[in-house]
């Protein structure tokens, strides 16, 4: 029955979408894109391949149901001139453009639109080339490449180099990097954007620019301000970072009966001060154990060195962790990527070339930053609340080290010194239907509300790559500056105003827009594309 309704929805879309598709294809043809190329890259809802292409990179099932608004066109460019033509034609015809590189954006804004007007998905999955230059310690990476593919290609050329990006191998480079993606190397090496040295981007008039031709203001903005607010990210040139021949990983689970709370409390005391070669992530998850509901704390660590170097550090500075030699596993960096990706320890690194995730759930995420330690009694209160609420988990991601050394204005990402750790609120579910969505989303909102006394304030900060439409949206081009400031200050703090100035200079008509894009200044006189 659900598939039947999905089919009906496509019929409805087709009745109006063809009126958009035909002029768009003509515009591409007028732009000298050969007909044979157009037939391979432009999909209307009438195309038999349309549903497959649309759903191939949807990573949140909340946005893959019969009632989800569908695009009028999907374009899957394979050349830069095709990107330029698609941008110019979409702007000429007042078609909103959504840019997808991997589909892991939590609110689906790269392939769903809240606006009533027609929209187009520009899917960059074909731009996945990776050219690693070990001698220069750099790589050019296409926006549609996956992190797993990047890690694998680096490891092919060198066992002593890496890139400080995320732990999920099926995340696309374009959105991850331009949104200031991070991973378990951030305490030693900082963020992805701290190692971007060049880029190629298509702007609203169709020009394709590199760092020199775009200028330093735009180059600054796309390193953490979200590339989709300014243009179409085509590729990044990144600098690789050194890693030792052997790294150490560990995973320890603790319950209330074996110093769980004391361990989490002590973690907060040392997390930003401990050796910057050590990154520890803490997962707090409601579980049922011995028929009793509780919260389990899992400590997952990466140390850039051997276990014999690590143990004296944890024993002296984090004794409550109780780390022992038997808990530690030494391996190469690429093997540690598999460990963090929850692969079996006998899995070949070539699995990182697989572009299909094992499982896709319904999900909702939120974020916070913690600047002062939460007391033991307050931690117990939080754990009790988590059990009461139900299924929502918390993830603490360590700060300090290199993150505290880089000025907040160096890139648009401002959450540097002064933070102990970043919090991700996480809930996923498999139950279908609006009732289930409502239940789980209410759960995560309830825990987020409960946590307010323990996290940053004025503003209550948030992380762009943990996109959360609960904290505000714009009206897609209609007097959006005041609305944009609501979420913009949470994501970017004092960098928001500079981002708005850059946006106004490079895209005064606010063509590149989404529900949480950088707005233009009210005096710009643009927003023609928002009609």
Residue whose structure tokens are 């803490």: 282
Distance CA 225, CA 181 (A): 11
Please check whether residue 512 is in contact with residue 499, taking contact to mean a CB–CB distance below 8 angstroms.
Answer: no
Could you tell me which residues come within 8 angstroms of residue 1 by beta carbon, excluding any fewer than 6 positions away? none
Q: What's the sign of the alpha-carbon dihedral 112, 115, 119, 125?
A: negative
Please check whether residue 192 is in contact with residue 180, taking contact to mean a CB–CB distance below 8 angstroms.
Answer: yes
Please check whether residue 422 is in contact with residue 461, taking contact to mean a CB–CB distance below 8 angstroms.
Answer: no
Please check whether residue 208 is in contact with residue 201, taking contact to mean a CB–CB distance below 8 angstroms.
Answer: yes
Residues in the chain: 531
Could you say which of 440, 463, 466, 487 is catalytic? 466
- Exposure pattern of 302-333 as b/e (b: 16+ CB <10 Å)? bbbbebebbbebbeeebebbebeeebbebebb
Could you tell me which residues come within 8 angstroms of residue 105 by beta carbon, excluding any fewer than 6 positions away? 59, 175, 467
Q: Would you call 463 a catalytic residue per the annotation?
A: no
Cis peptide before 450 (omega within 30 of 0): no
Whole-angstrom CA distances from 289 to 211, 256, 284, 294 are 54, 11, 14, 7
Whole-angstrom CA distances from 314 to 189, 214, 281, 301, 391 are 20, 46, 14, 11, 31
Distance CA 121, CA 469 (A): 20
Catalytic site positions: 466
């Amino acid at each position: 029955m659900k598939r039947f309704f999905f089919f009906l929805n496509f019929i409805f879309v087709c009745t109006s979408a063809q009126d958009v598709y035909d002029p768009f294809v003509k515009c591409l043809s007028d732009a000298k894109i050969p007909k044979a190329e157009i037939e391979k890259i432009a999909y209307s809802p009438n195309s038999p391949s349309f549903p497959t292409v649309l759903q191939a990179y949807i990573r949140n099932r909340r946005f893959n149901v019969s009632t989800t608004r569908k695009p009028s066109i999907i374009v899957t460019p394979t050349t830069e001139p095709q990107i330029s033509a698609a941008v110019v034609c979409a702007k000429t015809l007042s078609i909103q453009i959504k840019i997808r590189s991997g589909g892991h954006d939590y609110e689906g804004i790269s392939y769903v639109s809240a606006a009533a007007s027609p929209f187009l998905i520009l899917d960059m999955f074909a731009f996945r080339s990776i050219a690693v230059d070990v001698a220069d310690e750099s790589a050019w990476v296409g926006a549609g490449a996956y992190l797993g593919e990047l890690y694998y290609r680096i490891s092919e050329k060198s066992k002593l180099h890496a890139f400080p990006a995320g732990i999920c191998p099926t995340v696309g480079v374009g959105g991850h990097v331009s949104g200031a993606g991070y991973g378990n190397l951030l305490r030693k090496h900082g963020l992805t954007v701290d190692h971007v040295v060049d880029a190629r981007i298509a702007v609203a008039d169709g020009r394709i620019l590199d760092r020199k031709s775009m200028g330093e203001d735009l180059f600054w903005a796309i390193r953490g301000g979200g590339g989709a607010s300014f243009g179409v990210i085509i590729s990044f040139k990144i600098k690789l970072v050194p890693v030792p021949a052997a790294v150490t990983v560990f995973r320890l689970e603790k319950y209330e009966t074996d110093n769980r709370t004391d361990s989490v409390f002590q973690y907060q005391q040392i997390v930003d001060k401990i050796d910057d070669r050590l990154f520890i992530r803490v997962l707090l998850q409601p579980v049922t154990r011995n028929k009793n509901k509780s919260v389990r704390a899992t400590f997952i660590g990466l140390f850039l060195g051997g276990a014999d170097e690590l143990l004296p550090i944890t024993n002296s500075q984090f004794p409550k962790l109780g780390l022992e030699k038997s808990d530690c596993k030494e391996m190469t960096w690429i093997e540690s990527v598999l460990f963090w990706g929850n692969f079996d320890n006998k899995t070949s690194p070539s699995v990182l070339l697989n572009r299909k995730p094992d499982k896709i759930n319904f999900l909702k995420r939120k974020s916070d930053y913690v600047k002062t330690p939460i007391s033991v009694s307050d931690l117990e209160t939080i754990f009790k609340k988590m059990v009461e609420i139900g299924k929502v988990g918390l993830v603490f991601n360590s700060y300090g080290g290199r993150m505290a050394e880089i000025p907040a204005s160096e890139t648009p990402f401002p959450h540097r010194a002064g933070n102990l750790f970043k919090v991700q609120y996480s809930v996923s579910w498999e139950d279908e239907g609006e009732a289930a969505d409502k239940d789980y989303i209410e759960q995560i909102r309830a825990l987020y509300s409960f946590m307010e006394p323990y996290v940053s304030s004025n503003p209550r900060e948030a992380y762009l790559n943990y996109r959360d439409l609960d904290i505000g949206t714009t009206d897609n081009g209609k007097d959006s500056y005041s609305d944009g400031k609501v979420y913009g200050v949470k994501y970017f703090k004092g960098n928001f105003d500079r981002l708005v100035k850059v946006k106004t200079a490079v895209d005064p008509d606010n063509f590149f827009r989404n529900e949480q894009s950088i707005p233009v200044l009210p005096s710009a006189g643009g927003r023609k594309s928002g009609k």
